[in-house]
Structure 1
Amino acid sequence: MVENPAITDFPYDDEYIIVESPELQQNGSIIDLNNLPKVSFCIPTLNNEDTIEKCLSSIANQDYPSVEIIIVDGNSKDKTIEIAKKYTSKIFFDSGLLGSARQTGVEKATGEIVALFDSDIIIPHNNWLRNAVECFNYDDRVRTVWPENIAPPDGGPVVHLYFNHWKLIIEDRIKKRRGLYGGGNSLYLRRAIEDIGGVNRSIHWGEDFDWAQKLKDRKYKVVYIQDPLYHDTMPSLKVFARKQFIGAKTFTKTGFQLMNLSPYEVFYEQIVLGVKGMLHGLIVERDLSWYLYPVYVSIRLLAYGYTYMVGMKER
């Protein structure tokens, strides 16, 4: 076992997470590579006409023998359903919380593997799925294949900053064995999701942390792959702010327990790592998106601080 590795430098395998590398031997036999299992893409939607076409087109273009697309819509008022019908007839409706929509998708899935994706995910090349599915064979306890998410090439500065910061956080968590791995936009063995009782229908934001914790509790392993997905989210500071206030309502109620992090660790990730990333990004990489970091982190602190104070008054 390697102590505190730089995950991009050499392979890494411990009792919880494996960092994918050609140098690591695949010792498992979960997947029959001569008879690849069906993959069910379960995608909740709600007024996503701006992103759903690219998402579904990238799935349909995969060089993979058996794929189904399942849409669970929350009663969209735009052209989301019209677009989705070009790619699948498996369209269901669930106007409940996000966790409820995801669980509906899992229940409708017929694949051995479920891909619990957002509607703004874009798969970058047509061999991605085949390569990702093979990663289940790293170990017989692997139940999750968790890809890196990055901004799309045509994404704006906010989404680039978001994922620049997120990459720092994820790599630091892996090196220091902190927090949870294998949340949303990942591949899962369907039987593992069923084994933990499915997705919690009562959680709207952070439902992926909930199932990641349950999978960890059962001693299942996660493979982190650095063949990334494009995540076309956070197109503007306005959208970023709105999502932060929504997320804050969940996390302040749980005391950040869903993330399995202490308040100090949250501060370290958001402020210490963020400032280090900003200095490196501006001075070394000349990445101008980092100029937005002071505004970005101020919005996040305001959202969580305000929501926490309101919650304290209501108690």
Structure 2
Amino acid sequence: MIDMQRVMRVSLICTVKNEERTIAKLIRSIAAQSRMPDEIVIVDGGSRDATVQIILQYRERLPIKLLRVPGTNIAQGRNIAIRQANGEIIVSTDAGCVLDKKWLENLVKPIEQGNADVVGGWYIPDSKNWIEECIAIFSYPLLDEVLKRPEEFLPSGRSIAFRKEVWEKVGGYPEKLETAEDTLFDIRIKKAGFKFKFEPKALVYWRPRSSIFSFFKQQFKYSKGNAQAGLYISRYLVLVSIYTLGIFLVVYSVITSNYLLLRSLPLIFLTYTFILGYRRILDASRKCKKCILIFPILRFGFDFSRILGFFYGRFLRLKRK
């Protein structure tokens, strides 16, 4: 059978800032691709470390176009990179990632075959210690759940390919957002009627946050971005309602000296933790048993960070109006 697939020009884009510890690994994984991009457009948002110098070391071996634009956020950086890109297909990834050898090949194939306008790849946690393993088990999406409803999957900016015309028609990444820009970008593309495809073989390895505090800080930022973009509001309101009820029960049990209720509240919270994450707890029991011990801490900090981020994001949204 003759393969009528049209080979299209591909531009790989990436934004960086102070990534001296990770950028070389990313570039080496790009160089090892089974199919090379026609160009690599990197936007540096104002690095103060050796990031730029490391990138420059690879310019003679790879078709790298480096743009230094201090003060830009991720969305602005991606839009700048795409405007400068000459490819018909844009593929995006992030510093801190390592690409599977067939990542780009698998990511662009459905577009070249005419089966998709946008392709989302998959990402696998590259944990280096048990804390990172716990964070990954607790928070990363589960592949089998995505495969059940691939049409609902919103690809991250660390593993996505799309026709450049798609980006043009939806107005690019929303530059007012510091986080959640890729989520809103995906939603706008879907609303515009473009065809999505999920490609689990387009793999990116991505390291989770290395401490519990940095994980909570990350979730605060994500939730702030979601709230600014007006995303998942009902979910956040449900979460706020649950913890409001919990606070009410604590206050009520103290005021009424109902110590039986007060002592039962931790058990209620553990039950809540298990109901929300039983699949992940079972996964932890196989991979890292001590992760189970900190799951309640992760749950409380995760929820509390999201609530704070949500309220701050809504405040910024109202202030902007």
State the TM bucket, normalised to the shorter chain: 0.7 to 0.9
Partner of 1:101 in structure 2? 77
Are positions 1:236 and 2:207 aligned together? no
Partner of 1:132 in structure 2? 107
1:151-170 matched pairs, under 5 angstroms: 151-152=125-126, 155-168=128-141
More deviation, 173-182/236-245: 173-182
Deviation at 1:66, TM superposition (A): 4.0
CA distance in structure 1 between the partners assigned to 2:119 and 2:314 by the alignment: 38
Closer, same or farther in 2 for the Cα pair 1:223/1:51, shift >3 Å? Answer: same
Closer, same or farther in 2 for the Cα pair 1:303/1:108, shift >3 Å? Answer: same
**Per-residue deviation, residues 279-314 of structure 1 (Å, max 9, x unmatched):** 312445555545443222222222122344556789
When normalised by structure 2's length, the TM-score is 0.74
CA distance in structure 2 between the partners assigned to 1:247 and 1:219 by the alignment: 26
The counterpart of 1:182, out of the listed 125, 149, 155, is 155
Closer, same or farther in 2 for the Cα pair 1:174/1:272, shift >3 Å? Answer: farther
Are positions 1:83 and 2:37 aligned together? no
Are positions 1:114 and 2:116 aligned together? no
Q: Verify the 8 A CA contact 2:15 2:43 in the aligned structure 1.
A: yes
SS of the equivalent of 2:100 reads: coil
Closer, same or farther in 2 for the Cα pair 1:287/1:263, shift >3 Å? Answer: same
CA distance in structure 2 between the partners assigned to 1:273 and 1:105 by the alignment: 43
More deviation, 40-49/224-233: 224-233
CA distance in structure 2 between the partners assigned to 1:174 and 1:289 by the alignment: 26
Deviation at 1:265, TM superposition (A): 8.1
SS of the equivalent of 1:55 reads: helix
SS of the equivalent of 1:41 reads: strand
Partner of 2:174 in structure 1? 200
Deviation at 1:53, TM superposition (A): 0.7
CA distance in structure 1 between the partners assigned to 2:87 and 2:289 by the alignment: 41
Q: Verify the 8 A CA contact 1:115 1:188 in the aligned structure 2.
A: yes
Structure 1 runs (4+) deviating above 6 angstroms are 264-268, 311-315
Partner of 2:306 in structure 1? 304
Closer, same or farther in 2 for the Cα pair 1:118/1:310, shift >3 Å? Answer: closer
Q: Verify the 8 A CA contact 1:42 1:106 in the aligned structure 2.
A: yes
How large is the RMSD of aligned CA atoms in angstroms? 3.3
CA distance in structure 1 between the partners assigned to 2:104 and 2:307 by the alignment: 40
Asked which structure has the greater CA Rg, the reply is 2
1:261-272 matched pairs, under 5 angstroms: 262-263=235-236
Deviation at 1:272, TM superposition (A): 6.4
Aligned amino acid, residue 52 of structure 1: I
Q: Which has the higher helix share?
A: 2
Q: Verify the 8 A CA contact 2:173 2:185 in the aligned structure 1.
A: yes
Closer, same or farther in 2 for the Cα pair 1:166/1:54, shift >3 Å? Answer: same
Closer, same or farther in 2 for the Cα pair 1:116/1:271, shift >3 Å? Answer: farther
Q: Verify the 8 A CA contact 2:222 2:309 in the aligned structure 1.
A: no
CA distance in structure 2 between the partners assigned to 1:252 and 1:175 by the alignment: 27
Are positions 1:40 and 2:40 aligned together? no
CA distance in structure 1 between the partners assigned to 2:42 and 2:129 by the alignment: 27
Q: Verify the 8 A CA contact 1:114 1:187 in the aligned structure 2.
A: yes
More deviation, 51-60/242-251: 242-251
Aligned amino acid, residue 155 of structure 2: G
Q: Verify the 8 A CA contact 2:133 2:288 in the aligned structure 1.
A: no
SS of the equivalent of 1:90 reads: strand
Q: Verify the 8 A CA contact 1:181 1:212 in the aligned structure 2.
A: yes
| Unaligned stretches of 5+ residues in structure 2 | 243-271
**Per-residue deviation, residues 119-173 of structure 1 (Å, max 9, x unmatched):** 1111122x33223322335654x12221111112x53334433443455456436
Partner of 1:25 in structure 2? none
Partner of 2:117 in structure 1? 143
Partner of 1:24 in structure 2? none
The number of residues matched between the two structures is 278
More deviation, 205-214/277-286: 277-286
Give percent identity, aligned residues only: 19
SS of the equivalent of 2:120 reads: strand
